Amino acid sequence: MTESADACDLYRRWIDELWNGPTDRERLKAVAEELVSEDFLGHWPSAEVAGLGKLAALVDATKATYRDLVFEVEVGPFAADGYVAGRWAGQGMTSDGQISYLTGNDILSVRDGRFTEYWVASTEL
């Protein structure tokens, strides 16, 4: 498999196994350990997230905010020169029973088969 194909597979796992994966924080952390480096740094519009534990906590908090949250890749992923990018859409229900739609664009850097840095631009509709 090529480096680009491996990066695209890693991105699909990022969506399918982490964001659509377990709801238990310890299990989320175990999945994150397979996907990201120990020095992972994520750049969200509202926060900087450093490390596996904080990534798992952020994913856990997002899943707690939206019941039955599901994401799918809409465009890509595309990989080149140590980066992978994709566009996703998600849907989940808020605590007051309203369906919320989320969309976003991801760029991730890849080193040694794991993500090292993440940038996301996202919107809640």
Name the residue type at position 10.
Answer: L
Percent of the residues in the chain that have a pLDDT greater than 70, as a whole number: 99
The per-residue pLDDT for range 83-119, each reduced to its tens digit, is: 999 999 999 999 999 999 999 999 999 999 999 999 9
The per-residue pLDDT for range 36-91, each reduced to its tens digit, is: 999 999 999 988 999 988 999 999 999 999 999 999 999 999 999 999 999 999 99
Residue 66: predicted pLDDT: 94
Find residue 110's DSSP bridge partners. 115
DSSP three-state, residue 11:
helix
Q: Which CATH number fits domain 3-124: 1.10.340.30, 3.10.400.10, 3.10.450.50, 3.40.50.150?
A: 3.10.450.50
| pTM (2 d.p.) | 0.92
d(CA 10, CA 28): 16
